[in-house]
Amino acid sequence: MQCSEADCIADFVLQKDIRLKSPGACSLEFQSVMQIVVECMLRWDIKKKTSKGKGILGTVLAFFAADEEQGRKTLHRHWQIWVKEINETLPNCLFHEDNTARDIARKTFCKHIDNVLTASYGSEFRITHKCVKESNDFINKQDIAEVLFQERDPYIF
């Protein structure tokens, strides 16, 4: 943002005043945002109380959430989420006294994290990329990310 410190503080005070004058409206808005997170990101069917498939953390089996208001009058949520891909023995094995068991649990957990922390932009997201040919001429390419950058190491991308 391009504003002065005074403008930033004035905006913060205005937002705080709105939250204090309309706590119910702010709570409803917060609950709406949380519903979007649950339904779209966790892929949880709120009415049927079942998973709709793999979400950002894996396949949710169950979850519990508690909302709180902080001292500065902002709402936040604490989550406890159970996912199919991490069974109950895995967290215990991460602290196992046997080094081999700990290492296997760590690799399993890291593999799960790598699987859920990936992004696919889908076919509707198109990138226009200016490439330099060996003759120092420029060429514009337009395609989806997977095609445009398939020859690149994903860690470089």
Of 83, 101, 134, the last residue of a domain is: 83
Domain identity same for 99 and 73? no
pLDDT digits (tens, 9 = 90+) for 118-127: 666 666 667 7
- Domain range for 128 is 121-157
60 and 13 part of one domain: yes
Predicted structure pTM score: 0.57
SS3 79: strand
**What is the CA angle 145-149-153, rounded to 5?**
125
Say whether both 47 and 32 belong to one domain. yes
Check whether residue 15 and residue 79 sit in a common domain. Answer: yes
Residue entry with tokens 């913060």? 12
pLDDT tens-digit profile, the chain (157 residues): 577 888 888 888 888 888 788 888 888 888 999 999 999 999 999 999 999 998 888 899 999 999 988 776 778 899 999 988 887 778 778 888 899 989 998 888 888 887 777 666 666 667 777 777 777 777 777 777 667 666 655 555 4
Tell me, yes or no, whether 128 and 79 share the same domain.
no
